Amino acid sequence: MNSKTESNFKVMTGNAAAAIGATLSRPDVVAAYPITPQTEIIEQLSKFHANGELDAEMITVEGENSAMNAVMAASLAGGRVFTATSSWGLVFMYDAVLAAAGARAPVVMVNVNRETPGIIAVSSGQQDMISTRDSGWIFLIAENCQEIIDTVITAYRLAEDYDIQVPVMVHYDGFYLSYLSEVVDVPTQENVDKFLSVLNDQPARTILTPGEQTGCGSHGILDGYVELRYKHCMAMERAKDKIDQIDKEFSNIFERSYGGQVEGYRLDDADVVLVGSGSMCGTIKTVIDDRRKKGLKVGLLKIRMYRPFPSEKLIKHLKGKKAIGVVDRSLAFGFKGGPMYTELKAFSEELEGSELISFIDGIANTDITKKNINKMIDMTCDLAEGKDVPEVTWVSYGPQQGGE
């Protein structure tokens, strides 16, 4: 380890990493309600609050809807805020999630991905993320415990940036990461303060002030509504370059880099590529190393920023590849393929002939195993060779659906 950065290695779960990342960011107000698999975050934050490490107002709320309303109001009053939820909790705060985005409140929330109401499943899946996809929040997805702590800290730079002012949701896979213990290089408080201090030099955003007649979220007259939505969409576009820039600044201080919107793994000379997100990417990278040893030019494109959709980066990195397999841990009801596959399909023309296929796997804790990934790579290679390959494969399901 270099001498420039002081290192502090600790073994911790993904949830603990999220709680420490939030604490290091010095929030003014934390309001959250426990839900599996996020509960440990709240327990850790309560512990930090009790022992004086977290100097924040902790609001004990009776449910997630109140949690989001509390942090949104505190954010509009000028505070730095944090909350965390998962699955049913995210759905229970849905109206407030939309309101926070509409108010452009720079809330930072961790969502520990879990399957979503409809069928009760205490298991991993990104369906909760998909259920709030069009809420107007920025979505970041972390792959491992180190990336969780770093992404939570980064989320504040993005949400509170004067040019952005959009709430940020940090996603990571429940169970696979929430309870996985890994070595994490915990950033020092001094470095986090330095990294976030850029926000102090920006123009002050409008805040609620007692006694002042300033309001937020007023009844939008028709053209005013259009104006706000247009501004919001433009801010989402700006967030793409912004996270790339923030990632560089992060790297200057912490000497770790994630590539901003997307991360490429052995991608540049790859003929066939898998596109994925979250914890599955660790396994995919391992399989890619195995297959590379046997001479197969395969790579990974990891989606780190899912909203706004990093279309320009995806086109830049995927253009001209022989075949691309998109792995979704969620469903887009009404479309045969997964959500990320379906969205990437919209850029078929710009991808200049790169063929795309959809893999649905990892739903409700069905493990995305090395065997499964090898199968996906084989099928993507078949597609590259012009063989007849089904458009959509449910990798862990029955043979008729393309699985085992």
**Contact pattern for another protein over residues 338 through 377, marking x by CB under 8 A:** ----------------------------------------
Q: Which is nearer to another protein, 234 or 346 (CB)?
A: 234
Tell me if 86 sits within 8 A of 128, measured CB to CB. yes
- Rounded Cα gap, residues 193 and 202, in angstroms: 15
Q: Which is nearer to another protein, 10 or 238 (CB)?
A: 238
260 binds another protein per the rule CB under 8 A: no
Q: Which is nearer to another protein, 211 or 398 (CB)?
A: 211
Q: State which amino acid sits at residue 293.
A: K
Q: Is 40 exposed, middle or buried (0-12, 13-18, 19+ CB in 10 A)?
A: buried
C-alpha distances in Å from residue 141, one per residue of 53, 283, 291, 355, 381: 27, 16, 26, 25, 27
Indicate which single residue of 63, 78, 118, 220 sits in contact with another protein (rule: CB under 8 A).
Answer: 220
- From the list 55-63, 177-185, 212-220, 372-380, the region that binds another protein by CB under 8 A is 212-220
Tell me if 95 sits within 8 A of 247, measured CB to CB. no
Indicate which single residue of 223, 268, 349, 388 sits in contact with another protein (rule: CB under 8 A).
Answer: 223
Span 147-206, contacts to another protein by CB under 8 A: 165, 205-206
222-254 and 189-196 helices, crossing angle to 10°? 140
- From the list 16-24, 226-234, 287-295, 307-315, the region that binds another protein by CB under 8 A is 226-234
Give the closest residue to 141 by CA, choosing from 278, 286, 301, 330.
278
- From the list 208-216, 243-251, 276-284, 394-402, the region that binds another protein by CB under 8 A is 208-216
- Rounded Cα gap, residues 308 and 400, in angstroms: 35
Q: Which is nearer to another protein, 205 or 297 (CB)?
A: 205
51 binds another protein per the rule CB under 8 A: no
Long-range Cβ contact pairs of 236-239 (< 8 A, separation 24 or more): 236/136, 236/138, 236/166, 236/307, 236/308, 237/308, 238/163, 238/164, 239/138, 239/158, 239/164, 239/166, 239/305, 239/308
Indicate which single residue of 181, 202, 214, 286 sits in contact with another protein (rule: CB under 8 A).
Answer: 214
Does residue 326 sit in helix, strand or coil? strand
Q: Which is nearer to another protein, 32 or 105 (CB)?
A: 105
Least distance in angstroms from the C-beta of 245 to another protein? 19
Give the binding-site size for another protein (rule: CB under 8 A).
25
Does residue 284 sit in helix, strand or coil? helix
Q: Which helix (H) or strand (E) holds 100?
A: helix 94-102
Indicate which single residue of 50, 78, 231, 352 sits in contact with another protein (rule: CB under 8 A).
Answer: 231
Tell me if 316 sits within 8 A of 264, measured CB to CB. no
Q: State which amino acid sits at residue 39.
A: T
Q: Which helix (H) or strand (E) holds 307?
A: strand 305-307
Least distance in angstroms from the C-beta of 231 to another protein? 6
Indicate which single residue of 3, 197, 218, 400 sits in contact with another protein (rule: CB under 8 A).
Answer: 218
209 binds another protein per the rule CB under 8 A: no
95 binds another protein per the rule CB under 8 A: no
11 binds another protein per the rule CB under 8 A: no
104 binds another protein per the rule CB under 8 A: yes
Positions in the binding site for another protein (CB under 8 A): 102-105, 165, 205-206, 213-221, 223-224, 226-228, 230-232, 235
